[in-house]
Amino acid sequence: MLHLLLHFVIPVLVALLFYRSRWRYATFVLIATMLVDLDHLLANPIYDPARCSIGFHPLHTLPAMLFYVLLFAVPLINRWRTGRPNLSPASRILHLIGLGLLIHMVLDGIDCMV
């Protein structure tokens, strides 16, 4: 139950800390990345409280996580490279999706350790 709560609390805190001027939008995108858990529908049983999601479900594997790192980092690298003060709307949402997915993986990973 605490695990599920963290999937909502951490995105709100991250949005307030790092995206204050657009914290509602950032919170919405970060929480929406919980849709990544739709890959649980491919498993049998769909939900197993004793199972570790990391490395088991296809969107919770290392290759997927490397893609999430790219989603998070490439918009920032492009902004730095071009010297623009802000991310474009398209880059902003890709960056936030990547961040939300990485937060999700970290929280799921913590759940695997306890």
> Would you call 1 helix, strand, or coil by DSSP?
coil
Regarding 39 and contact with Zn ion (CB under 5 A), the answer is no
Which is nearest to 106 in space by CA: 7, 31, 1? Answer: 7
| CA distances to 24, 38, 71, 93 from 83, in Å | 26, 37, 19, 19
CB 23, min distance to Zn ion, A: 23
Subset of residues 52 to 91 that bind Zn ion, contact rule: CB under 5 A? 53
Subset of residues 18 to 37 that bind Zn ion, contact rule: CB under 5 A? 37
CB 57, min distance to Zn ion, A: 7
Regarding 108 and contact with Zn ion (CB under 5 A), the answer is yes
Stretch in the footprint of Zn ion (CB under 5 A) among 6-14, 51-59, 69-77, 91-99: 51-59
Check if the beta carbon of residue 68 is closer than 8 Å to that of residue 102. Answer: yes
Structural element, H or E, at residue 20: none
CB 20, min distance to Zn ion, A: 27
CB 13, min distance to Zn ion, A: 19
| CA gap 31, 49 in Å, rounded | 21
Closer residue to Zn ion in complex, CB, 57/92: 57
Structure tokens at 22: 């657009």
Q: Which residues bind Zn ion (CB under 5 A)?
A: 37, 53, 108
